[in-house]
Amino acid sequence: MVSFIAGRAEDTAAEGFRGRRQPVLFLPLFIFAYFGVALAAVSAAAVSIPLRLAELDPAHKTQMLSLTIAMGGVLVVLLTAPLGRLSDISTARAGIRRPYILGGSLVGASGMLVLALAPNVPLVITGWGIAQAGFAATSMALNALLADQIPTRIRARVAAAFGLATGIAPVVGSALVGALPGNPLYWFCIPAAIALLASTGLVMVLDDIVRTERVPVDWRTLLRSYWINPLQHKDFAWAWACRLLVTMSLVSVVTYLLFFLTDRLGIAPEDAPSAQGTVLGAYFASSVVTTLLFGWISDRTGRRKAIVWGSALITAVGLLISLVAHDLTLFTVGIALAGMGQGAFVAVDVAMMTELLPESTDAGTGLAVIALSYQLPALLVPALATVLLGIGDTGPNYTALFVAAVAASALGGLAVLPIKNVR
């Protein structure tokens, strides 16, 4: 069977990974699985759930959206790190990652079905919680595979491909939902089916690591899964804070983008999904070039730090332009500039964080801690946004929300400066 990784098994340590040779289809199916999960989760959070809440409770749609996203975020934060630890020590015959990839997608798809059939807001919240729990397991396992199976020498480029997959997911999701009939079954179930298909394809080709030695685990072990001591590993802590802040800035904008377009820019609700697709399409198109370019530059030069902080500041500038926009054209320009920054950021940041993980940390546990830096925003942003959007008495205060997003991105860029062990 043709392998995408050349070399002897004993060379894997030098290459910076601990996995096995994989068939040639592994890498494209790996990226497709990442895209499928992102498509299902992002299209639901950014398009389908807002549309559904606008139908069920139009007077309180922003508050209910904040509550829904926050409750899903709580489950993701609670589950990801323990699942990562359990995956690391699993002795399942199918491997340490495969059961979580496929099982998580099945649970996530079940939650999407609940969302599609939900007749009221409480069931929307319940369905999103189930979906987030399932997709959290799949995402954890996919991220762990980055350290398991991808050598350091190509890790930034693979991370760049992940960035492209994640970046195109909201674009495709918005366009897909906008093109589908106005029925929640289509909005939720078709993206879920794509995620399940992609995960199944990856599981079928993955030659997973299989453990035979049992490792005892208790609740103390699971609690330690959330923790990498920031005082002992300061570089990792700074990189983690950088990703948290930059992710918060983007989540703040994307989560409320549909409502911003209708409430601030005056776009008709029936045209909003298409307009959102246009905006996100500009974001993705502008990020493609910088993702590929800086992923390649970073792997060739070994430089991570300068690209990360520079891209975070470019993102802040793009969001600042969007803040002052009063028409769709200028708003799209600002989001496109933010996309340029995010393209470079996503391509390099994940590679940098994996290289800063303590050597004693297993991949699933370490990547789960990394994942918290971009999962916590789903919990923190709705809570903060509820306060920010409520400032004043003239309706949702999107200006306050965008100012906070700009500040978070700028602070994220500055947070990477103290890092010493990565160039």
pLDDT tens digits, 236-265 = 888 888 888 988 888 888 778 888 888 888
pLDDT interval class at 356 (50, 70, 90)? confident
Lowest mean pLDDT among 37-46, 102-111, 207-216: 207-216
Contact of 69 with 255, CB cutoff 8 Å: yes
Average pLDDT for residues 319-334, to the nearest whole number? 90
pLDDT tens digits, residue range 359-417?
655 555 666 677 777 777 877 887 888 888 888 777 788 888 889 999 999 998 888 88
Which tens digits make up the pLDDT trace of 195-206?
A: 999 999 999 998
Q: What is the dihedral of CA 330, 334, 336, 339, to 10 degrees?
A: -170
**pLDDT exceeds 50 at position 163:** yes
Place of tokens 């396992």: 141
pLDDT at position 362:
56
Computed over every residue of the chain, the mean pLDDT equals 81
Please indicate whether residue 307 or residue 110 has the higher confidence score (pLDDT).
110
What Cα–Cα distance (Å) separates residue 59 from each residue in 64, 366, 395, 397?
Answer: 10, 42, 11, 15
pLDDT at 100: 93
CB burial of 208-231 (b: ≥16 within 10 Å; e: otherwise) equals bbeeeeeeeeeeeeeeebbebeee
Q: Find the mean pLDDT for residues 74-103.
A: 83
Instruction: Find the range with the poorest average confidence among 131-140, 257-266, 341-350.
Output: 341-350
Pairwise pLDDT comparison (224 vs 1), residue with the higher score: 224
Q: How far from 293 is each of 33, 59, 156, 297, CA to CA, in Å? A: 23, 45, 11, 6
